[in-house]
Amino acid sequence: MLGKTELVKRIEVNYKVAGEGGPLLILHGWGSGSDSWVKVAELIAEKGYRVIVPDLPGFGKTPAPPAVWGVEEYAEFVNEFAEKLGLQKFVLAGHSFGGQVAVKFAAVHPEKLERLILCAPAAIRKEPGLKDTLVICAAKAGSVILFLIPSAGLQEFTRKVFARMIGRSDYLQAPGIMRKVMQRVIREDLSDLFALINTKTLLVWGEKDRPVPVEDAYVMEKRLSHSSLKVIPGASHRVHREAPEILSKIICSWLSY
């Protein structure tokens, strides 16, 4: 894939491009980046698509946003990014957090989408329970402790200990403002937007997904009027890494009819 940059909302955005043909824009998940989608992107590009995968602000090689963004701000970033690249109408795919952003985009800018592909989108957010509250409190306490530790090696060891204790390494690994961004987006439930989406939609889930359970897939399939669901046996949340050949085959087959 070819690496490029584009200035969007005064942020120098790193992105990758592969292939020629109809545009397909992929939004990666939280704590990930365009690198994790290279295999899938190249396989899809071989079938006659121009596949574009940006590092969303705060991930990969793209700097963090200048303020605490929520899903709406990320969706508008995607809109401006697409305009900068001259994408008038395109296929949009999103995984996990990227799927959450894709749902918001599809509800606000339906006229710009040919089709929508959602890979285990984190669009259904339950009310945080006691466990989630304790996780955030423990993570904040861990941040204070890390700040007081002078040794970089000891900091990394302590970070891993806290991550194992609370079961959420993504929060402690998030740099600076991205922790506040994460606190905001994990509280944004987009269930009410499903009824507004009429774009033909493919839902793809790993059978053993824990962060975004497959039960959410069946809820979305019922509430999205033009959707179809494919569950990959044995796969977990990172379907694009665990089964890139299967995922790309599912996507290309669905796009072909």
Averaged pLDDT for residues 110-123 = 98
Residue closest to 205 by CA, chosen among 193, 216, 194, 192 = 216
pLDDT of residue 167: 44
The four Cα atoms 159, 63, 82, 219 give a dihedral, to 10 degrees, of 20
- What pLDDT band is residue 140 in, cutting at 50, 70 and 90? low
User: Which DSSP string corresponds to 160-182?
Assistant: HHHHHHHT-HHHHHS-TTHHHHH
Q: What's the pLDDT tens digit per position in 159-194?
A: 555 445 444 456 556 678 999 999 999 999 999 999
Q: What's the pLDDT tens digit per position in 61-109?
A: 999 999 999 999 999 999 999 999 999 999 999 999 999 999 999 999 9
User: CA 4, CA 34: separation in Å to the nearest integer?
Assistant: 11
- Please give the model's pTM, rounded to 2 decimal places: 0.86
Angle between helices 130-148 and 178-185 (to 10 degrees): 180
pLDDT of residue 213: 96
Sign of dihedral through CA atoms 33, 35, 41, 43? negative
Structure tokens at 215: 């039960």
Say how many residues make up the chain: 257
User: Which DSSP string corresponds to 48-106?
Assistant: TEEEEEE--TTSTTSPPPSS---HHHHHHHHHHHHHHTT-SSEEEEEETHHHHHHHHHH
Pairing of strands 11-18, 49-54: antiparallel
- What pLDDT band is residue 141 in, cutting at 50, 70 and 90? low
Averaged pLDDT for residues 243-255 = 98
DSSP 238: -
User: CA 115, CA 134: separation in Å to the nearest integer?
Assistant: 39
Residue 75 burial (10 A CB sphere; 0-12, 13-18, 19+): buried
pLDDT of residue 257: 86
Averaged pLDDT for residues 24-34 = 97
Averaged pLDDT for residues 138-150 = 54
Residue closest to 68 by CA, chosen among 177, 187, 185 = 177
Q: Give the other-Cβ count within 10 Å of 197's Cβ.
A: 24
User: CA 219, CA 187: separation in Å to the nearest integer?
Assistant: 19
Angle between helices 130-148 and 152-166 (to 10 degrees): 170
